[in-house]
Amino acid sequence: MLTANDFIPKVYSQTIESGSFQWSAPSNIALVKYWGKKDNQIPANPSVSFTLNNCKTITKLVFAKKEKQDIFSFDLLFEGKPKEDFKPKILKFLERIEIYLPFLKEYHFTIDTENTFPHSSGIASSASGMAALAMNLMSLEKALNPEMTEAYFYQKASLLARLGSGSACRSVKGQVVVWGNQANIEGSSDLYGVEFPNAIHDNFNNFQDTILLVDKGEKQVSSTVGHDLMHAHPYAERRFEQAHENLDKLNAIFESGNLDEFIKVVESEALTLHAMMMTSMPYFILMKPNTLQIINAIWKFRSATKIPVCFTLDAGANVHVLYPENVSEKVLQFIKDELVGFCQNGQYLCDEIGSGAIKLA
């Protein structure tokens, strides 16, 4: 089993003066949720997610060797314009990963980033954003050390992304990604995400995720604060065990293709995440009235039609509607007829399972 020290490089065989790379990295939606962490972004429990396809961040990294090599130096552009308020988070990220990429202070970087989803849609861009940046930095390390294997490249990219934002480590490679040690999932690790290694039934091919934008406002609770609330939480330990149990159940469900069982685990995980926030101190309700309206409408539609559609939630009010591709037409019609009215400005985003980060240049 690899340890974090295995990702600290020794000497590089190449030197590089300047250049650029560009990567896209997608968002992901957790089925078993990560909520609660230990030091160094080690998750309190394992999680599993579907990688998305359309909601992504595209980041170009331009680099050039500089004279003074004692501080980090970078410019940050968002949609082509300087964005000062993103810089502290990036600086903190560079500080955290310097031990793994000791060349960082040798270069001046220009980080030019944009998202394919609307700004302030309430969709967190931290997972896709940190993953896209980690991919670019790994391309630079690979240029300095061309002997690096592909397995190391992706594992380390995920490890770096994790240090930027935990869930970002699930946005690197694979359609279904597990992050966190789980006894019977071979290769699973707290340090990085891995492609789900076991059989996946055809029912999950091209699984659809339509994201209903219920509330596009600023997050009421940052995920940093949220994870922290699990520390003195009365139900935390039992919750962490439950995540292991649910991941075991999903392991079997992915193989059997049993969508009724899938729905039970996924909806229970979403409501448990919110229950944890309602029962922490301080406590939060992150759902909005329209979140509940949507959930109830989905339950009514499912019970009337027997169509296997379900929901999941992030740490916010938006609803991810999950369903197999072969019922897309009916579910989209239902969304248009009955759910759009609960979305802010009628907005929703159609996405589906994708396979991870892509090198663009």
List residues near ligand PMV by CB under 6 A.
30, 33-35, 47, 126, 165-167, 223, 273, 314-315
Minimum Å distance from CB 140 to ligand PMV? 24
Query: Using CA of residue 203, residue 205, residue 206, residue 210, what is the dihedral sign?
Result: positive
Give whichever of 47 and 188 is closer to ligand PMV, judged by the CB atom. Answer: 47
Residue 179 corresponds to which tokens in the numbers above? 């992050």
**Residue 263 carries which side chain, given as an amino acid letter?**
I
Minimum Å distance from CB 49 to ligand PMV? 6
Minimum Å distance from CB 107 to ligand PMV? 27
Minimum Å distance from CB 33 to ligand PMV? 4
What span, in angstroms and rounded, lies between the C-alpha atoms of 253 and 272? 19
Residues written for the chain? 361
Give whichever of 22 and 280 is closer to ligand PMV, judged by the CB atom. Answer: 280
Residue 191 corresponds to which tokens in the numbers above? 């340090």
What span, in angstroms and rounded, lies between the C-alpha atoms of 100 and 105? 12
Are the beta carbons of 294 and 311 closer than 8 angstroms? yes
Give whichever of 62 and 236 is closer to ligand PMV, judged by the CB atom. Answer: 236
Tokens 């985003």: give the residue.
349
Query: Using CA of residue 184, residue 186, residue 188, residue 193, what is the dihedral sign?
Result: negative
Give whichever of 51 and 210 is closer to ligand PMV, judged by the CB atom. Answer: 51
Minimum Å distance from CB 18 to ligand PMV? 32
Give whichever of 103 and 179 is closer to ligand PMV, judged by the CB atom. Answer: 179
> How many Cβ atoms sit within 10 Å of the Cβ of residue 335?
22
